[in-house]
């Protein structure tokens, strides 16, 4: 009997951690049942590299944007720049973008401006917005809601580890929450409870590799294959059979990331 298949909805295959190893990394993912991966570009000068990875490996798709921690380091991206990427058949999402006041609160004004530009591009292309949120829950809730009132768009709260309030606000707008290795840590019961309180048809799974490896690899380099480990913890938290959880989260991915759907 073949093993259930899942999707790693967020990884960073262009990072130096994987240099020279991509064929093996992708094969290990496929061997673990991870049938597709979305590799995320966090700065525009890396877009050609990230695009080339998606073009080279058939299970890999890509998204591009300016990470909030980089928003103050380069000229403000335009919606037209982001929209132009959407012509590529394997470009499936806008971002990651968002707000990070933990490390880069001093650039919060430009982060907010950049976030709104990314939302405009997501709205125009009908592709999902990929959100990074850290230590900025109030502003994140406000901006996502204000912008949604200006015109609907779709969105995933990537590597969700924020408050229950931000989770609820995102779900109320019809958005998705993505489980990373953080949700699989033994001490993350409170976070797992937030996920379990969400509708199962709004849950995705990701690695955010090379970061945040789930047990038993915690503290080591993460890779897409390990999203299957997080998914097993997710299935347990939801009280579901792994095959059912895998199927449901894959359906969720296909609905949101429609350009990468099976």
Q: Looking at the domain assignment, is residue 56 inside a domain?
A: yes
pLDDT in tens, the chain (262 residues): 578 999 999 999 999 999 999 999 999 999 999 999 999 999 999 999 999 999 999 999 999 999 999 999 989 999 999 999 999 999 999 999 999 999 999 999 999 999 999 999 999 999 999 999 999 999 999 999 999 999 999 999 999 999 999 999 999 999 999 999 999 999 999 999 999 999 999 999 999 999 999 999 999 999 999 999 999 999 999 999 999 999 999 999 999 999 999 8
Closest listed residue to residue 255, CA positions, set 179, 170, 156, 183: 156
* The total number of structural domains that make up the chain: 1
158 known member of a binding site: yes
96 known member of a binding site: yes
Q: Looking at the domain assignment, is residue 256 inside a domain?
A: yes
**What is the model's pLDDT at position 158?**
98
**What is the model's pLDDT at position 28?**
98
CB 207, CB 180: distance < 8 Å: yes
Q: Looking at the domain assignment, is residue 90 inside a domain?
A: yes
| CATH number, residue 208 | 3.20.20.140
208 known member of a binding site: yes
**What is the model's pLDDT at position 71?**
97
**What is the model's pLDDT at position 2?**
79
CB 137, CB 160: distance < 8 Å: no
Q: Looking at the domain assignment, is residue 188 inside a domain?
A: yes
Q: Looking at the domain assignment, is residue 1 inside a domain?
A: no
**What is the model's pLDDT at position 1?**
59
Residue 77, CA distances (Å) to 10, 118, 151 in order: 21, 8, 20
89-121 CB burial, b ≥16 within 10 A, e <16: ebbbbbbbbbbbbeebeebbebbbebbbbbbbb
Q: Is the pTM of this model over 0.85?
A: yes
10 known member of a binding site: yes
Q: Looking at the domain assignment, is residue 169 inside a domain?
A: yes
- Strands 34-41 and 6-11, bridge-based pairing: parallel
* Domain that includes residue 254, residue range: 6-260
């Amino acid at each position: 009997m073949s093993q259930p298949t899942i999707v790693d909805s967020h990884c960073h295959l262009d990072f130096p951690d994987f240099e020279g190893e991509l064929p093996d990394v992708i094969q290990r993912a496929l061997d673990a049942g991870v049938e597709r991966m979305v590799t995320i570009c966090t700065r525009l000068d890396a877009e050609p590299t990230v695009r080339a990875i998606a073009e080279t490996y058939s299970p890999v798709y890509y998204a591009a944007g300016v990470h909030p921690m980089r928003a103050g380091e380069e000229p403000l991206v335009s919606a037209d720049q982001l929209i132009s990427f959407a012509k590529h058949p394997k470009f499936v999402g806008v971002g990651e973008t968002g707000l990070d006041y933990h490390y880069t609160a001093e650039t919060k004004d430009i982060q907010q401006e950049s976030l709104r530009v990314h939302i405009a591009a997501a709205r125009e292309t009908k592709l999902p917005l990929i959100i990074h949120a850290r230590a900025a829950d109030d502003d994140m809730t406000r901006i996502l809601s204000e912008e949604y009132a200006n015109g609907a768009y779709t969105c995933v709260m990537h590597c969700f580890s924020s408050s229950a309030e931000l989770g609820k606000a995102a779900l109320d707008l019809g958005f998705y929450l993505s489980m990373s290795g953080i949700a699989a840590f033994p001490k993350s019961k409170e976070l797992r409870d937030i996920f379990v309180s969400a509708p199962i048809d709004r849950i995705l799974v990701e690695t955010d590799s090379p970061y945040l490896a789930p047990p038993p690899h915690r503290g080591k380099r993460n890779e897409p294959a390990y999203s299957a480990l997080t998914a097993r913890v997710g299935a347990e938290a939801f009280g579901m059979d792994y095959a059912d959880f895998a199927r449901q989260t894959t359906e969720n991915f296909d609905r949101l990331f429609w350009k990468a759907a099976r």
